[in-house]
Amino acid sequence: MINIKLIRESPDTVRAALQRRDSDLTASVDKILALDESRREILANVEKLKAERNRSSEEVARLKKAKEDASSLLSELRDLSTKIKEMDQEVRGIESDLKSLVLQIPNLPLENLPDGGADDFKIKKTWGEPAELGFEAKPHWELGESLRILDLPRGATVSGSGFPVFVGLGARLSRALVNMMLELHTRDHGYLEIAPPYLVNEDSALGTGQLPDLEENMYVTRDGLYLVPTAEVPVTNLHRNDILDVEDLPRTFVAYTPCFRREAGAHGADTRGIIRVHQFDKVELVRLCRPEDSLSEFEILLGHAESVLQQLELPYRVIQLAAGDIGFASAMTYDIEVWAAGVGKWLEVSSVSTFTDFQARRANIRYRPEQHAKPDFVHTLNGSALALPRTIIPLLENNQRQDGSIDIPPRLVPYLGAEKLMPHGTA
């Protein structure tokens, strides 16, 4: 959530930042300023009336003590109390409208982001070389069928399009990847593993910025609980309304969850295979830190996400998204894209983002910089490390051999228990 003080004191800065996002919410800044001014004006008048009421109350007490008539003054006091109550109610209504508007304002992009939209990213680094197979590469859906590890038709029968079924060694491959990633991040990178709920309440979804912006992409139950679109939501909200000790920062968490996304508005895009699905598994990293450590923590987080692809020997590139392409809550995002030989393109396998204090303000996550100091908001960061479908795709496509078998990267062999995947599901 944007600090309303910033909107009040630097409205032009906020408008300019929103325009960099190609946002049509700049008019909301004017509405927020008008409501804020009205709220402060009413509050100032309420304080004057309360001061007047206090003086009158003291005078009534004096008159009663002197056994003098205070009926006229008591009538004025009743009128004052009624007016104060009405104005307090008006303030609450304005504050509700104000909060609703502020919650619709996205985070402000950092200054170092390139301008533009989805095509205006900057390539920050590359690792590895795209595979030269020497034959025409098959896409993962054909490989998955011939290996009998992926059954898309039965997934569609059970749930609908976009709900894949992994079978046999395919299911074991998914489990092996999750175990490898969790062990890497806990043992080597020092993250605390969390097994969070897969359903969250409205406050949690508001806290991380999924609501109200992404509500149409979330599955909601009749009880008003939301299926998690990412483990970021429950894990970040573990410390909602908490005040952390500075000695406890950074707090670092890793969690595996299935993720559920309706992908509203994405119909017709990447419909074949498992590039874009409604349910998928993902390992997520979350970091909470002091504001002054935010950028260095971002680089650490990025390195941890990259390390998974390095362990799997999958070529990738890191791109910095333009200001008009970052997510609602993000202030800066780097996408990690991995090359997939079968579909012949780069696939986003991870987004690493810093949210500055945007999520912390919404979820009220604070820390005390030093003993007895006023609490301040932490900075939150997260990144996928990694999403399974778009890890499995290049794993199959880049490591395929002409006989239809798949070579398994050495780092994954102990978890999978096989060095190769063979056609017809034999190892």
**Active-site amino acid positions:** 261, 276, 348, 351, 390
DSSP letter at 220? B
Which residues, in sequence order, are CB contacts of 404 under 8 Å at separation 6+? 143, 146, 147, 422, 423
DSSP letter at 43? H
Q: Which two tokens stand for residue 165?
A: 């079924």
Cis ω before 386 (30° cut-off from 0)? yes
Give the residue among 337, 283, 282 at the shortest CA–CA distance from 306. Answer: 337
Cα–Cα dist 360/379, whole Å: 7
Give the residue among 284, 208, 292 at the shortest CA–CA distance from 250. Answer: 292
CA dihedral angle for residue 264, residue 268, residue 270, residue 276, rounded to 10 degrees: 20
Which residues, in sequence order, are CB contacts of 351 under 8 Å at separation 6+? 327, 333, 334, 335, 336, 383, 384
Q: Which two tokens stand for residue 119?
A: 């095509």
Cis ω before 212 (30° cut-off from 0)? yes
Which residues, in sequence order, are CB contacts of 72 under 8 Å at separation 6+? none
CB under 8 A, 24+ apart: contacts of 177-181: 177/388, 177/391, 177/392, 177/412, 177/415, 178/256, 178/281, 178/283, 178/388, 179/415, 180/308, 180/311, 180/411, 180/412, 180/415, 181/256, 181/283, 181/308, 181/385, 181/386
Which residues, in sequence order, are CB contacts of 419 under 8 Å at separation 6+? 407, 408, 413, 427
Query: How distant, in Å, are the alpha carbons of 264, 272, 289, 349 from that of 276?
Result: 11, 8, 32, 11
Q: Which two tokens stand for residue 149?
A: 């590890």
* Secondary structure tally for the chain: helices H, strands E: 13, 17
Cα–Cα dist 332/352, whole Å: 8
Which residues, in sequence order, are CB contacts of 27 under 8 Å at separation 6+? none
